[in-house]
Structure 1
Amino acid sequence: MKHVTKADGTRQPFDPGKVQRTLRNMGLGAEDAGRIAGEIEESVPDDVRTAAVLRMIRTRARAVRPAVAHRTNLRRALALLRPKPEFEEFVRVLLREHGYRVEAGCILAGLCGEHEVDAIAQKDGATVFVEVKHHASHHRMTGLDEGRIARAIVEDLQEGFRSGRCTVSIDGALIVCNTKLSEHAKRYATCRGIGHIGWDYPVDRNLRTMIEKTQSYPVTIVAGVGASVSARLAAAGFVTAKQVAYGDAAAIAHDAGIPLKEVLLIAGRAREILEP
Protein backbone atom coordinates (compact mmCIF):
# COMPACT_ATOMS: atom_id res chain seq x y z
CA MET A 1 0.00 0.00 0.00
CA LYS A 2 1.29 3.44 -0.94
CA HIS A 3 1.19 6.39 1.44
CA VAL A 4 1.13 10.16 1.11
CA THR A 5 2.87 12.67 3.36
CA LYS A 6 0.75 15.67 4.33
CA ALA A 7 2.00 19.23 4.81
CA ASP A 8 2.24 18.71 8.59
CA GLY A 9 4.46 15.66 8.10
CA THR A 10 1.88 13.00 8.96
CA ARG A 11 1.44 9.93 6.74
CA GLN A 12 -1.76 8.33 5.56
CA PRO A 13 -2.70 5.70 2.97
CA PHE A 14 -3.03 6.92 -0.60
CA ASP A 15 -6.75 7.26 -1.28
CA PRO A 16 -7.68 7.16 -4.98
CA GLY A 17 -11.24 8.06 -3.97
CA LYS A 18 -10.03 11.48 -2.80
CA VAL A 19 -8.22 11.98 -6.09
CA GLN A 20 -11.41 11.13 -7.97
CA ARG A 21 -13.48 13.53 -5.85
CA THR A 22 -10.98 16.32 -6.50
CA LEU A 23 -11.13 15.66 -10.24
CA ARG A 24 -14.95 15.56 -10.21
CA ASN A 25 -15.00 18.88 -8.33
CA MET A 26 -12.82 20.29 -11.12
CA GLY A 27 -15.58 19.39 -13.56
CA LEU A 28 -14.33 16.08 -14.97
CA GLY A 29 -16.69 13.22 -15.67
CA ALA A 30 -16.68 9.99 -13.68
CA GLU A 31 -14.90 7.98 -16.38
CA ASP A 32 -12.03 10.46 -16.79
CA ALA A 33 -11.74 10.96 -13.03
CA GLY A 34 -11.49 7.23 -12.39
CA ARG A 35 -8.94 6.72 -15.17
CA ILE A 36 -6.68 9.58 -14.04
CA ALA A 37 -6.89 8.56 -10.37
CA GLY A 38 -5.73 5.07 -11.32
CA GLU A 39 -2.87 6.43 -13.41
CA ILE A 40 -1.70 8.70 -10.59
CA GLU A 41 -1.88 5.92 -8.01
CA GLU A 42 0.22 3.70 -10.29
CA SER A 43 2.87 6.33 -10.99
CA VAL A 44 3.49 8.05 -7.64
CA PRO A 45 6.22 6.81 -5.29
CA ASP A 46 5.50 5.79 -1.71
CA ASP A 47 5.37 8.73 0.73
CA VAL A 48 4.73 11.24 -2.06
CA ARG A 49 3.87 14.72 -0.79
CA THR A 50 0.22 15.69 -1.08
CA ALA A 51 1.27 18.92 -2.82
CA ALA A 52 2.94 16.85 -5.54
CA VAL A 53 -0.20 14.77 -5.97
CA LEU A 54 -2.27 17.93 -6.37
CA ARG A 55 0.10 19.22 -9.05
CA MET A 56 -0.29 15.93 -10.92
CA ILE A 57 -4.06 16.14 -10.60
CA ARG A 58 -4.14 19.66 -12.03
CA THR A 59 -1.77 18.84 -14.88
CA ARG A 60 -3.74 15.80 -16.00
CA ALA A 61 -7.09 17.48 -15.45
CA ARG A 62 -6.10 20.41 -17.67
CA ALA A 63 -5.45 18.00 -20.52
CA VAL A 64 -9.08 16.86 -20.32
CA ARG A 65 -10.73 20.10 -19.23
CA PRO A 66 -8.75 23.26 -20.11
CA ALA A 67 -10.89 25.40 -17.78
CA VAL A 68 -8.98 23.88 -14.85
CA ALA A 69 -6.13 26.24 -15.80
CA HIS A 70 -8.36 29.17 -14.80
CA ARG A 71 -9.08 27.75 -11.36
CA THR A 72 -7.21 28.34 -8.10
CA ASN A 73 -7.09 25.74 -5.33
CA LEU A 74 -10.18 26.25 -3.14
CA ARG A 75 -8.32 26.44 0.16
CA ARG A 76 -5.97 29.04 -1.27
CA ALA A 77 -8.93 30.94 -2.76
CA LEU A 78 -10.53 31.17 0.69
CA ALA A 79 -7.24 32.24 2.26
CA LEU A 80 -6.95 35.09 -0.26
CA LEU A 81 -10.14 36.70 1.08
CA ARG A 82 -9.73 39.37 3.72
CA PRO A 83 -11.37 38.43 7.05
CA LYS A 84 -13.51 41.57 7.00
CA PRO A 85 -15.65 42.21 5.12
CA GLU A 86 -15.01 39.64 2.38
CA PHE A 87 -14.97 36.32 4.22
CA GLU A 88 -17.76 37.42 6.57
CA GLU A 89 -20.00 38.33 3.63
CA PHE A 90 -19.00 35.15 1.80
CA VAL A 91 -20.15 33.06 4.78
CA ARG A 92 -23.47 34.92 4.90
CA VAL A 93 -24.02 34.25 1.18
CA LEU A 94 -23.08 30.58 1.61
CA LEU A 95 -25.50 30.09 4.50
CA ARG A 96 -28.30 31.64 2.44
CA GLU A 97 -27.50 29.17 -0.34
CA HIS A 98 -28.15 26.41 2.19
CA GLY A 99 -31.53 27.63 3.31
CA TYR A 100 -30.71 29.96 6.19
CA ARG A 101 -32.34 33.31 6.67
CA VAL A 102 -29.37 35.52 7.41
CA GLU A 103 -29.15 39.05 8.74
CA ALA A 104 -25.91 41.02 8.70
CA GLY A 105 -23.91 41.52 11.86
CA CYS A 106 -25.20 43.65 14.69
CA ILE A 107 -24.74 44.30 18.40
CA LEU A 108 -26.86 42.25 20.80
CA ALA A 109 -27.35 43.12 24.46
CA GLY A 110 -26.68 40.42 27.01
CA LEU A 111 -27.40 40.55 30.71
CA CYS A 112 -23.86 41.64 31.51
CA GLY A 113 -22.66 43.31 28.30
CA GLU A 114 -23.04 43.95 24.59
CA HIS A 115 -21.77 41.53 21.97
CA GLU A 116 -20.98 42.26 18.33
CA VAL A 117 -21.90 39.26 16.16
CA ASP A 118 -21.05 38.67 12.49
CA ALA A 119 -24.55 37.49 11.55
CA ILE A 120 -27.83 36.14 12.87
CA ALA A 121 -29.03 33.01 11.08
CA GLN A 122 -32.35 31.17 11.27
CA LYS A 123 -33.20 27.70 10.03
CA ASP A 124 -35.56 24.92 11.11
CA GLY A 125 -37.00 27.06 13.88
CA ALA A 126 -33.63 27.79 15.54
CA THR A 127 -31.89 31.17 15.74
CA VAL A 128 -28.13 31.32 16.16
CA PHE A 129 -25.54 34.03 16.10
CA VAL A 130 -22.67 33.42 13.66
CA GLU A 131 -19.02 33.96 14.52
CA VAL A 132 -16.71 33.96 11.48
CA LYS A 133 -13.01 33.13 11.84
CA HIS A 134 -10.52 33.46 9.01
CA HIS A 135 -6.85 32.50 8.85
CA ALA A 136 -4.53 33.59 6.04
CA SER A 137 -2.67 30.30 6.40
CA HIS A 138 -4.94 27.32 5.79
CA HIS A 139 -2.51 25.13 7.72
CA ARG A 140 -3.38 26.91 10.98
CA MET A 141 -5.86 25.16 13.26
CA THR A 142 -8.91 26.87 14.74
CA GLY A 143 -8.68 26.10 18.43
CA LEU A 144 -10.69 25.88 21.60
CA ASP A 145 -10.93 29.56 22.53
CA GLU A 146 -13.54 30.41 19.90
CA GLY A 147 -15.89 27.74 21.26
CA ARG A 148 -15.43 28.79 24.87
CA ILE A 149 -16.09 32.43 24.04
CA ALA A 150 -19.16 31.52 21.98
CA ARG A 151 -20.55 29.45 24.87
CA ALA A 152 -20.20 32.39 27.26
CA ILE A 153 -21.88 34.76 24.79
CA VAL A 154 -24.82 32.35 24.29
CA GLU A 155 -25.42 32.25 28.05
CA ASP A 156 -25.23 36.03 28.42
CA LEU A 157 -27.58 36.65 25.47
CA GLN A 158 -30.10 34.11 26.72
CA GLU A 159 -30.08 35.68 30.17
CA GLY A 160 -30.34 39.10 28.52
CA PHE A 161 -33.43 37.98 26.59
CA ARG A 162 -35.10 36.67 29.73
CA SER A 163 -34.39 39.98 31.46
CA GLY A 164 -35.76 42.01 28.54
CA ARG A 165 -32.42 43.56 27.53
CA CYS A 166 -32.00 41.47 24.34
CA THR A 167 -34.73 41.62 21.72
CA VAL A 168 -33.61 38.43 19.93
CA SER A 169 -34.08 34.96 21.39
CA ILE A 170 -30.80 33.14 20.68
CA ASP A 171 -30.78 29.34 20.71
CA GLY A 172 -27.09 28.83 20.11
CA ALA A 173 -23.95 29.76 18.23
CA LEU A 174 -22.42 28.76 14.90
CA ILE A 175 -18.69 29.19 14.31
CA VAL A 176 -17.57 29.14 10.68
CA CYS A 177 -13.87 29.03 9.80
CA ASN A 178 -11.78 28.35 6.70
CA THR A 179 -9.34 25.97 8.41
CA LYS A 180 -9.44 22.65 10.20
CA LEU A 181 -10.48 22.43 13.86
CA SER A 182 -8.32 21.06 16.62
CA GLU A 183 -9.56 17.85 18.23
CA HIS A 184 -9.97 19.74 21.51
CA ALA A 185 -12.19 22.30 19.77
CA LYS A 186 -14.33 19.54 18.26
CA ARG A 187 -14.82 17.78 21.61
CA TYR A 188 -15.75 20.99 23.41
CA ALA A 189 -18.16 22.11 20.69
CA THR A 190 -19.89 18.71 20.71
CA CYS A 191 -20.16 18.68 24.49
CA ARG A 192 -21.47 22.24 24.73
CA GLY A 193 -23.72 22.18 21.66
CA ILE A 194 -21.78 24.84 19.79
CA GLY A 195 -22.22 24.57 16.02
CA HIS A 196 -18.99 24.42 14.03
CA ILE A 197 -18.33 24.50 10.31
CA GLY A 198 -14.66 24.05 9.43
CA TRP A 199 -12.78 23.11 6.28
CA ASP A 200 -13.46 19.38 6.72
CA TYR A 201 -15.76 19.27 9.75
CA PRO A 202 -18.39 18.00 10.27
CA VAL A 203 -18.03 15.23 7.71
CA ASP A 204 -21.43 15.70 6.06
CA ARG A 205 -21.68 19.50 6.26
CA ASN A 206 -18.27 21.10 6.20
CA LEU A 207 -17.17 24.26 4.45
CA ARG A 208 -15.71 22.47 1.45
CA THR A 209 -18.78 20.31 0.77
CA MET A 210 -21.16 23.22 1.35
CA ILE A 211 -19.29 25.29 -1.24
CA GLU A 212 -18.99 22.49 -3.78
CA LYS A 213 -22.61 21.34 -3.44
CA THR A 214 -23.96 24.74 -4.43
CA GLN A 215 -20.94 25.87 -6.48
CA SER A 216 -20.73 28.89 -4.19
CA TYR A 217 -17.03 29.42 -4.84
CA PRO A 218 -15.39 32.65 -3.71
CA VAL A 219 -14.53 34.93 -6.62
CA THR A 220 -10.86 34.28 -5.81
CA ILE A 221 -11.32 30.75 -7.21
CA VAL A 222 -10.71 32.43 -10.57
CA ALA A 223 -6.98 32.49 -11.26
CA GLY A 224 -5.61 36.02 -11.37
CA VAL A 225 -8.17 37.55 -9.03
CA GLY A 226 -5.93 38.88 -6.29
CA ALA A 227 -6.60 40.73 -3.05
CA SER A 228 -7.07 44.17 -4.63
CA VAL A 229 -9.65 43.08 -7.21
CA SER A 230 -11.40 40.85 -4.69
CA ALA A 231 -11.68 43.76 -2.25
CA ARG A 232 -13.21 46.03 -4.88
CA LEU A 233 -15.71 43.39 -5.93
CA ALA A 234 -16.64 42.67 -2.31
CA ALA A 235 -17.15 46.37 -1.59
CA ALA A 236 -19.68 46.37 -4.43
CA GLY A 237 -21.41 43.26 -3.05
CA PHE A 238 -19.86 40.56 -5.25
CA VAL A 239 -18.08 37.83 -3.30
CA THR A 240 -18.79 34.65 -5.27
CA ALA A 241 -17.78 33.53 -8.73
CA LYS A 242 -21.46 32.94 -9.58
CA GLN A 243 -22.35 36.55 -8.86
CA VAL A 244 -19.73 37.78 -11.31
CA ALA A 245 -20.23 35.03 -13.89
CA TYR A 246 -23.96 35.64 -14.32
CA GLY A 247 -24.26 39.27 -13.24
CA ASP A 248 -24.47 42.44 -15.30
CA ALA A 249 -20.83 42.98 -16.27
CA ALA A 250 -21.26 46.69 -16.98
CA ALA A 251 -22.95 47.28 -13.61
CA ILE A 252 -20.28 45.26 -11.81
CA ALA A 253 -17.52 47.24 -13.52
CA HIS A 254 -19.18 50.53 -12.57
CA ASP A 255 -19.93 49.61 -8.97
CA ALA A 256 -16.54 48.00 -8.29
CA GLY A 257 -14.45 50.54 -10.19
CA ILE A 258 -12.87 47.83 -12.33
CA PRO A 259 -12.40 48.11 -16.13
CA LEU A 260 -15.18 46.35 -18.03
CA LYS A 261 -12.62 44.34 -19.99
CA GLU A 262 -11.27 42.85 -16.75
CA VAL A 263 -14.74 42.06 -15.43
CA LEU A 264 -15.61 40.29 -18.68
CA LEU A 265 -12.40 38.24 -18.45
CA ILE A 266 -13.15 37.20 -14.85
CA ALA A 267 -16.79 36.43 -15.71
CA GLY A 268 -15.79 34.29 -18.69
CA ARG A 269 -13.29 32.27 -16.67
CA ALA A 270 -15.81 31.88 -13.85
CA ARG A 271 -18.41 30.45 -16.24
CA GLU A 272 -15.86 27.97 -17.59
CA ILE A 273 -15.17 26.82 -14.03
CA LEU A 274 -18.83 26.56 -13.07
CA GLU A 275 -20.27 24.97 -16.19
CA PRO A 276 -19.66 21.29 -17.07
Structure 2
Amino acid sequence: MKHVIKADGTRQPYDRYRVMRTARNYGVPDDYVIEVAAEVERHLYDGIRTRDVLRMIHTYARKYQPGVEGRTNVRRAIGMLSPKPDFELYVRALLKGSGYEVEEGRILKGRCGEHEVDAIARKDGITYFVEVKHHHNHHRMTGLDEGRIARAIVEDVQEGYKSGRNHFTIDKAMIVCNTKLSAHAKQYAACWDIKHIGWDNPKEENIASMVANRRLCPITLIKGVNARMRKRLVNAGIVTVGQLLGESPDVVAEKSGIPVEEIRFLADRAKKLEP
Protein backbone atom coordinates (compact mmCIF):
# COMPACT_ATOMS: atom_id res chain seq x y z
CA MET A 1 0.00 0.00 0.00
CA LYS A 2 1.33 3.44 -0.95
CA HIS A 3 1.26 6.35 1.49
CA VAL A 4 1.10 10.12 1.05
CA ILE A 5 2.76 12.76 3.21
CA LYS A 6 0.43 15.53 4.42
CA ALA A 7 1.44 19.17 4.88
CA ASP A 8 1.94 18.60 8.62
CA GLY A 9 4.38 15.74 7.92
CA THR A 10 2.07 12.87 8.87
CA ARG A 11 1.67 9.80 6.66
CA GLN A 12 -1.64 8.34 5.60
CA PRO A 13 -2.66 5.63 3.11
CA TYR A 14 -3.39 6.78 -0.42
CA ASP A 15 -7.15 7.11 -0.91
CA ARG A 16 -8.53 6.90 -4.44
CA TYR A 17 -11.90 8.20 -3.22
CA ARG A 18 -10.29 11.48 -2.09
CA VAL A 19 -8.68 11.94 -5.51
CA MET A 20 -12.01 11.33 -7.24
CA ARG A 21 -13.80 13.67 -4.84
CA THR A 22 -11.26 16.43 -5.47
CA ALA A 23 -11.61 15.98 -9.23
CA ARG A 24 -15.39 16.14 -8.87
CA ASN A 25 -15.09 19.34 -6.81
CA TYR A 26 -13.01 20.78 -9.64
CA GLY A 27 -16.02 20.24 -11.89
CA VAL A 28 -14.90 17.07 -13.69
CA PRO A 29 -18.01 15.13 -14.83
CA ASP A 30 -18.70 11.92 -12.89
CA ASP A 31 -18.00 9.81 -15.99
CA TYR A 32 -14.38 11.01 -16.01
CA VAL A 33 -13.30 11.28 -12.37
CA ILE A 34 -12.10 7.66 -12.48
CA GLU A 35 -9.93 8.59 -15.47
CA VAL A 36 -8.29 11.37 -13.45
CA ALA A 37 -7.63 8.97 -10.57
CA ALA A 38 -6.10 6.44 -12.96
CA GLU A 39 -3.77 9.10 -14.40
CA VAL A 40 -2.66 10.09 -10.90
CA GLU A 41 -2.03 6.49 -9.91
CA ARG A 42 0.22 5.93 -12.91
CA HIS A 43 2.64 8.45 -11.39
CA LEU A 44 2.08 7.60 -7.72
CA TYR A 45 4.91 6.49 -5.46
CA ASP A 46 5.19 5.75 -1.76
CA GLY A 47 5.85 8.92 0.26
CA ILE A 48 4.53 11.36 -2.33
CA ARG A 49 3.46 14.70 -0.86
CA THR A 50 -0.20 15.66 -0.95
CA ARG A 51 0.63 18.92 -2.72
CA ASP A 52 2.15 16.90 -5.58
CA VAL A 53 -0.97 14.73 -5.75
CA LEU A 54 -3.11 17.87 -5.92
CA ARG A 55 -0.90 19.26 -8.66
CA MET A 56 -1.43 16.10 -10.72
CA ILE A 57 -5.19 16.14 -10.12
CA HIS A 58 -5.25 19.75 -11.31
CA THR A 59 -3.24 18.92 -14.44
CA TYR A 60 -5.30 15.91 -15.49
CA ALA A 61 -8.64 17.46 -14.53
CA ARG A 62 -8.08 20.24 -17.05
CA LYS A 63 -8.49 17.68 -19.83
CA TYR A 64 -12.12 17.23 -18.89
CA GLN A 65 -13.00 20.58 -17.31
CA PRO A 66 -11.29 23.67 -18.77
CA GLY A 67 -12.65 25.80 -15.92
CA VAL A 68 -10.52 24.03 -13.32
CA GLU A 69 -8.15 26.97 -12.97
CA GLY A 70 -10.87 29.13 -11.47
CA ARG A 71 -12.06 26.38 -9.16
CA THR A 72 -8.64 25.86 -7.60
CA ASN A 73 -8.68 29.50 -6.51
CA VAL A 74 -11.94 29.27 -4.56
CA ARG A 75 -10.25 28.51 -1.22
CA ARG A 76 -7.94 31.48 -1.68
CA ALA A 77 -10.91 33.68 -2.63
CA ILE A 78 -12.80 32.70 0.54
CA GLY A 79 -9.67 33.49 2.55
CA MET A 80 -9.72 37.02 1.06
CA LEU A 81 -13.07 37.74 2.72
CA SER A 82 -12.93 39.53 6.06
CA PRO A 83 -14.25 37.57 9.06
CA LYS A 84 -16.98 40.13 9.79
CA PRO A 85 -19.28 40.84 8.13
CA ASP A 86 -18.08 39.24 4.87
CA PHE A 87 -17.66 35.63 5.93
CA GLU A 88 -20.72 35.62 8.19
CA LEU A 89 -22.88 36.84 5.30
CA TYR A 90 -21.20 34.38 2.97
CA VAL A 91 -21.91 31.41 5.24
CA ARG A 92 -25.57 32.41 5.48
CA ALA A 93 -25.76 32.58 1.67
CA LEU A 94 -23.93 29.26 1.36
CA LEU A 95 -26.32 27.50 3.75
CA LYS A 96 -29.38 29.05 2.13
CA GLY A 97 -28.15 27.93 -1.29
CA SER A 98 -27.70 24.43 0.14
CA GLY A 99 -31.30 24.06 1.25
CA TYR A 100 -31.31 25.54 4.77
CA GLU A 101 -33.76 28.09 6.10
CA VAL A 102 -31.48 30.78 7.49
CA GLU A 103 -32.06 33.68 9.88
CA GLU A 104 -29.67 36.38 11.04
CA GLY A 105 -27.75 35.99 14.26
CA ARG A 106 -29.35 36.76 17.60
CA ILE A 107 -28.72 36.61 21.33
CA LEU A 108 -29.84 33.38 22.96
CA LYS A 109 -30.50 33.35 26.69
CA GLY A 110 -29.18 30.39 28.59
CA ARG A 111 -29.70 29.39 32.20
CA CYS A 112 -26.36 30.91 33.18
CA GLY A 113 -25.64 33.52 30.52
CA GLU A 114 -26.41 35.06 27.15
CA HIS A 115 -24.83 33.92 23.91
CA GLU A 116 -24.56 35.89 20.66
CA VAL A 117 -24.64 33.51 17.69
CA ASP A 118 -23.91 34.25 14.04
CA ALA A 119 -27.02 32.67 12.49
CA ILE A 120 -29.92 30.29 12.99
CA ALA A 121 -30.36 27.53 10.41
CA ARG A 122 -33.07 24.88 9.94
CA LYS A 123 -33.15 21.78 7.80
CA ASP A 124 -34.93 18.42 8.03
CA GLY A 125 -36.71 19.50 11.20
CA ILE A 126 -33.50 20.37 13.07
CA THR A 127 -32.74 23.88 14.36
CA TYR A 128 -29.06 24.80 14.60
CA PHE A 129 -27.28 27.80 16.00
CA VAL A 130 -24.41 28.66 13.68
CA GLU A 131 -20.95 29.83 14.63
CA VAL A 132 -18.51 30.78 11.88
CA LYS A 133 -14.73 30.70 12.00
CA HIS A 134 -12.63 32.33 9.30
CA HIS A 135 -8.90 32.05 8.66
CA HIS A 136 -7.14 34.26 6.09
CA ASN A 137 -4.59 31.46 5.68
CA HIS A 138 -6.65 28.68 4.15
CA HIS A 139 -3.97 26.11 4.96
CA ARG A 140 -4.46 26.59 8.71
CA MET A 141 -6.28 23.86 10.63
CA THR A 142 -9.35 24.56 12.77
CA GLY A 143 -8.99 22.93 16.18
CA LEU A 144 -10.96 21.90 19.26
CA ASP A 145 -11.82 25.24 20.87
CA GLU A 146 -14.83 26.07 18.70
CA GLY A 147 -16.38 22.65 19.38
CA ARG A 148 -15.93 22.93 23.12
CA ILE A 149 -17.55 26.37 23.18
CA ALA A 150 -20.42 25.20 20.95
CA ARG A 151 -21.18 22.27 23.22
CA ALA A 152 -21.36 24.56 26.26
CA ILE A 153 -23.71 26.96 24.46
CA VAL A 154 -26.08 24.16 23.43
CA GLU A 155 -26.33 22.89 27.00
CA ASP A 156 -26.83 26.34 28.53
CA VAL A 157 -29.47 27.45 25.99
CA GLN A 158 -31.42 24.22 26.34
CA GLU A 159 -31.37 24.57 30.12
CA GLY A 160 -32.46 28.20 29.74
CA TYR A 161 -35.41 27.07 27.65
CA LYS A 162 -36.42 24.49 30.26
CA SER A 163 -36.25 27.08 33.04
CA GLY A 164 -38.34 29.61 31.09
CA ARG A 165 -35.55 32.18 30.54
CA ASN A 166 -35.68 31.62 26.79
CA HIS A 167 -38.72 30.92 24.64
CA PHE A 168 -36.54 29.92 21.71
CA THR A 169 -34.38 26.81 21.83
CA ILE A 170 -32.03 25.00 19.49
CA ASP A 171 -31.44 21.32 18.81
CA LYS A 172 -27.80 21.28 17.77
CA ALA A 173 -24.73 23.40 17.13
CA MET A 174 -23.23 24.00 13.71
CA ILE A 175 -19.73 25.34 13.18
CA VAL A 176 -18.70 26.49 9.69
CA CYS A 177 -15.07 27.25 8.91
CA ASN A 178 -13.19 27.82 5.67
CA THR A 179 -10.30 25.49 6.47
CA LYS A 180 -9.75 21.82 7.12
CA LEU A 181 -10.41 20.38 10.59
CA SER A 182 -7.86 18.79 12.84
CA ALA A 183 -8.36 15.12 13.68
CA HIS A 184 -9.20 16.07 17.28
CA ALA A 185 -11.81 18.60 16.10
CA LYS A 186 -13.49 15.96 13.91
CA GLN A 187 -13.48 13.41 16.72
CA TYR A 188 -14.90 15.85 19.27
CA ALA A 189 -17.65 17.06 16.91
CA ALA A 190 -18.67 13.51 16.07
CA CYS A 191 -18.73 12.48 19.73
CA TRP A 192 -20.96 15.40 20.80
CA ASP A 193 -23.10 15.44 17.65
CA ILE A 194 -21.93 18.89 16.56
CA LYS A 195 -22.35 19.59 12.86
CA HIS A 196 -18.90 20.82 11.85
CA ILE A 197 -18.66 21.99 8.23
CA GLY A 198 -15.15 22.63 6.95
CA TRP A 199 -13.49 22.84 3.57
CA ASP A 200 -13.69 19.07 2.97
CA ASN A 201 -15.65 17.82 5.98
CA PRO A 202 -18.09 16.08 6.28
CA LYS A 203 -17.97 14.00 3.10
CA GLU A 204 -21.64 14.54 2.28
CA GLU A 205 -21.83 18.31 2.89
CA ASN A 206 -18.75 20.49 2.90
CA ILE A 207 -17.76 23.86 1.52
CA ALA A 208 -15.85 22.34 -1.41
CA SER A 209 -18.96 20.47 -2.56
CA MET A 210 -21.24 23.46 -1.96
CA VAL A 211 -19.15 25.77 -4.18
CA ALA A 212 -19.25 23.22 -6.99
CA ASN A 213 -22.33 25.34 -7.71
CA ARG A 214 -20.46 28.30 -9.17
CA ARG A 215 -23.17 30.75 -8.16
CA LEU A 216 -22.28 30.05 -4.50
CA CYS A 217 -18.65 31.07 -4.98
CA PRO A 218 -17.56 34.32 -3.26
CA ILE A 219 -17.35 37.55 -5.21
CA THR A 220 -13.63 37.65 -4.45
CA LEU A 221 -13.20 34.87 -7.02
CA ILE A 222 -14.02 37.37 -9.77
CA LYS A 223 -10.88 38.93 -11.20
CA GLY A 224 -11.08 42.69 -10.83
CA VAL A 225 -12.85 42.78 -7.45
CA ASN A 226 -10.54 44.92 -5.34
CA ALA A 227 -10.83 45.73 -1.62
CA ARG A 228 -12.92 48.84 -2.29
CA MET A 229 -15.41 46.98 -4.47
CA ARG A 230 -15.57 44.07 -2.04
CA LYS A 231 -16.50 46.32 0.87
CA ARG A 232 -19.18 48.12 -1.13
CA LEU A 233 -20.68 44.92 -2.50
CA VAL A 234 -20.73 43.31 0.96
CA ASN A 235 -22.37 46.41 2.44
CA ALA A 236 -25.03 45.98 -0.25
CA GLY A 237 -25.55 42.37 0.85
CA ILE A 238 -23.81 40.87 -2.17
CA VAL A 239 -21.25 38.21 -1.27
CA THR A 240 -21.72 35.49 -3.91
CA VAL A 241 -21.41 35.31 -7.68
CA GLY A 242 -25.07 34.35 -7.88
CA GLN A 243 -26.18 37.41 -5.93
CA LEU A 244 -24.17 39.66 -8.25
CA LEU A 245 -25.72 38.08 -11.34
CA GLY A 246 -29.19 37.87 -9.81
CA GLU A 247 -29.92 41.56 -10.27
CA SER A 248 -29.39 43.98 -13.12
CA PRO A 249 -26.13 45.97 -13.20
CA ASP A 250 -28.14 49.16 -12.67
CA VAL A 251 -29.69 47.83 -9.45
CA VAL A 252 -26.35 46.53 -8.14
CA ALA A 253 -24.71 49.87 -8.97
CA GLU A 254 -27.41 51.77 -7.10
CA LYS A 255 -27.16 49.52 -4.04
CA SER A 256 -23.36 49.48 -3.88
CA GLY A 257 -22.41 52.92 -5.14
CA ILE A 258 -20.06 51.35 -7.69
CA PRO A 259 -20.28 52.84 -11.22
CA VAL A 260 -22.53 50.75 -13.45
CA GLU A 261 -19.75 50.33 -16.03
CA GLU A 262 -17.62 48.57 -13.43
CA ILE A 263 -20.53 46.35 -12.39
CA ARG A 264 -21.13 45.31 -16.01
CA PHE A 265 -17.43 44.49 -16.33
CA LEU A 266 -17.56 42.32 -13.18
CA ALA A 267 -20.79 40.64 -14.30
CA ASP A 268 -19.23 39.69 -17.64
CA ARG A 269 -16.30 38.09 -15.83
CA ALA A 270 -18.61 36.38 -13.35
CA LYS A 271 -20.58 34.76 -16.18
CA LYS A 272 -17.37 33.20 -17.49
CA LEU A 273 -16.92 31.41 -14.16
CA GLU A 274 -20.12 29.44 -14.66
CA PRO A 275 -19.81 25.99 -16.29
TM-superposed CA distance for 1:111, in Å, is 1.5
1:202 maps to a residue whose letter is P
TM-superposed CA distance for 1:55, in Å, is 5.3
Q: Tell me what 2:157 maps to.
A: 157
Whether the aligned pair in 2 keeps the contact of 1:70 and 1:222 (CA below 8 Å) is no
CA distance in 1, matches of 2:84, 2:229: 15
Q: Tell me what 1:229 maps to.
A: 229
Percent identity between the two aligned chains = 55
Change (3 A) 1:17 1:192: closer
Secondary structure of 1:199's counterpart equals coil
Q: Counterparts of 1:1-276 in structure 2 under 5 Å? A: 5-11=5-11, 21-29=21-29, 42=42, 49-51=49-51, 54=54, 67-68=67-68, 73-212=73-212, 215-275=215-275
TM-superposed CA distance for 1:7, in Å, is 3.0
Secondary structure of 1:212's counterpart equals coil
CA distance in 2, matches of 1:4, 1:81: 31
CA distance in 2, matches of 1:25, 1:217: 12
1:233 maps to a residue whose letter is L
CA distance in 2, matches of 1:124, 1:31: 31
* Count of matched residue positions in the alignment of Structure 1 and Structure 2: 275
2:253 maps to a residue whose letter is A
The Cα offsets for residues 163-188 of structure 1, whole Å up to 9 and x where unpaired, read as 22212122121111111122222222
CA distance in 1, matches of 2:143, 2:68: 33
TM-superposed CA distance for 1:227, in Å, is 3.8
Change (3 A) 1:219 1:72: farther
CA distance in 1, matches of 2:86, 2:176: 14
Structure 2: tracts of 5 or more residues without a match: none
CA distance in 2, matches of 1:3, 1:274: 35
Secondary structure of 1:193's counterpart equals coil
2:269 maps to a residue whose letter is R
TM-score for both structures, normalised by structure 1: 0.83
Secondary structure of 1:117's counterpart equals strand
The Cα offsets for residues 132-189 of structure 1, whole Å up to 9 and x where unpaired, read as 1111112222111111111111111112112222121221211111111222222222
CA distance in 2, matches of 1:57, 1:224: 27
TM-score for both structures, normalised by structure 2: 0.83
1:259 maps to a residue whose letter is P
CA distance in 1, matches of 2:63, 2:134: 34
CA distance in 1, matches of 2:44, 2:186: 33
Secondary structure of 1:205's counterpart equals coil
Change (3 A) 1:14 1:171: closer
CA distance in 1, matches of 2:21, 2:188: 30
Secondary structure of 1:223's counterpart equals coil
CA distance in 2, matches of 1:226, 1:71: 19
CA distance in 2, matches of 1:171, 1:16: 36
Q: Which has the higher contact order (CA 8 A, sep 6+)?
A: 1
TM-superposed CA distance for 1:260, in Å, is 2.5
TM-superposed CA distance for 1:120, in Å, is 1.0
CA distance in 1, matches of 2:62, 2:3: 25
TM-superposed CA distance for 1:239, in Å, is 0.8
TM-superposed CA distance for 1:262, in Å, is 2.6
1:217 maps to a residue whose letter is C
Secondary structure of 1:108's counterpart equals strand
CA distance in 1, matches of 2:69, 2:261: 20
Change (3 A) 1:94 1:24: same
TM-align CA RMSD = 3.0
The Cα offsets for residues 32-81 of structure 1, whole Å up to 9 and x where unpaired, read as 76666655655688756544555566567668766555555121111111
Whether the aligned pair in 2 keeps the contact of 1:245 and 1:268 (CA below 8 Å) is no
Change (3 A) 1:47 1:87: same
